[in-house]
Structure 1
């Protein structure tokens, strides 16, 4: 009996050690972003898309900041925020990045589009907060949160430009700095014991023009949007339904 007990104890210890080794101390989370318009892959400079309100649109530039990434374990009440995580996503450049987080059973993810108040008016250029990225205002301090530029026309009228530069209309209230909440559990992406996790997001640009505020370019007096009510409306649009975890 003693021999059997020793064998069982040894097997238990071996299994426990293996379980410990299989649980990583940290998790590498790889973020990637793809962009579509009406479900079709976004292509700059070459492809004409039809906007929800009927205008023909050729996109020239599209980029935005992702920041303040926080993972939460709602059942345990724990969370982890990525320190100095400011990442520029550019359709013409980088569309992915990786962060390392302590191992935990995370079931909720929150990130923001834009730059928080503390960094928006700071000279500490952490992460991708480099003015050479063409995301800093040239007439004011701070950063553009989201940029969309292109040309549009409607019913064979003369082609016009669209310039959408969204930043902070009100730095104190951090207006236009919008949280994106992702339920990892519902998406089948709960983080746990895996050493590497891929999170692939798709952004549907039509949502910038649709919900909850419809943007009809051919009815606007000016399609250069750099502040004011329409900047707020577009920021509300990208907070709801813009990103989907694939």
Structure 2
């Protein structure tokens, strides 16, 4: 028995070495950014003071065939808490999948199922009400020029016509450590340039539009 345990102790790193780990980053025009920095875009400047969003329903494919489904319902990524930016899938062999699919946000079924534990606990401030459901994404900060003004983007909605959750499909490089970069250039370009939709705080057409813009900004890199 002892001999078996010893063998298992030495072999375990070999089995877990290629487990998939995803580090989530925010970028602006492909440059890494963080909270409370003065950032420039189109000769204007802004600060991002809060960034939180849900990633959920992870599925893993090889040659267009579903090979694994993540049992965890959802992950809340909060850029004020560094540990939430690393998502580990201990049972997923990184070199055996070539595509990852997941939702940016929370789907309608989960919104109506009463599943309010773990990352979905309303204590995290990402839940409006049973009528409006979960906030899929929060981006808050201040536009600094040409005039100083706060912006609050709380994007969500789970009933038609305001279905805000977005399906993300990305190719996997088959490396164990992967970076999921979300580039804010397009969404902040809309916010900073227009300065007419700085406060989106409930399910609406603009919330869906902003969610669609963000969904096109996801990129998976080795």
Per-residue deviation at 1:127? 3.6
Between the aligned partners of 1:174 and 1:84, the Cα distance in structure 2 is: 25
Per-residue deviation at 1:121? 2.9
CA contact (8 A) 2:178 2:220 kept: no
Per-residue deviation at 1:174? 7.0
Between the aligned partners of 2:31 and 2:169, the Cα distance in structure 1 is: 24
Q: Is the counterpart of residue 101 in structure 1 residue 91 in structure 2?
A: yes
Indicate the structure (1 or 2) with the bigger Cα radius of gyration: 1
Q: Aligned-pair RMSD on alpha carbons?
A: 2.9
Per-residue deviation at 1:141? 4.3
- The aligned residue for residue 81 of structure 1 is 69
Per-residue deviation at 1:106? 1.6
Q: Is the counterpart of residue 49 in structure 1 residue 69 in structure 2?
A: no
Select the residue among 211, 219, 225 that pairs with 2:194. Answer: 219
Which blocks of at least 5 consecutive residues in structure 1 are unaligned? 1-20, 191-196
TM-score by length of 2: 0.79
Q: Is the counterpart of residue 117 in structure 1 residue 108 in structure 2?
A: yes
> Structure 1 residue runs of 4+, over 4 Å off?
21-27, 138-141
- The aligned residue for residue 62 of structure 1 is 51
Q: Is the counterpart of residue 229 in structure 1 residue 214 in structure 2?
A: no
Paired positions, count: 207
Which blocks of at least 5 consecutive residues in structure 2 are unaligned? 1-11
Q: For the structure 1 residues 162 and 27, does the alpha-carbon distance in structure 2 shift closer, same or farther, using more than 3 Å as the test?
A: same
Greater per-residue helix proportion: 2
TM-score by length of 1: 0.72
Q: Is the counterpart of residue 143 in structure 1 residue 143 in structure 2?
A: no
- The aligned residue for residue 180 of structure 2 is 201
Per-residue deviation at 1:218? 5.0
Q: For the structure 1 residues 78 and 112, does the alpha-carbon distance in structure 2 shift closer, same or farther, using more than 3 Å as the test?
A: closer
SS of aligned partner of 1:137:
strand
Q: Is the counterpart of residue 189 in structure 1 residue 174 in structure 2?
A: yes
Cα deviation, 1:134-160, whole Å, max 9, x if unaligned, reads: 1111684421111100011333x3x11
CA contact (8 A) 1:27 1:101 kept: no
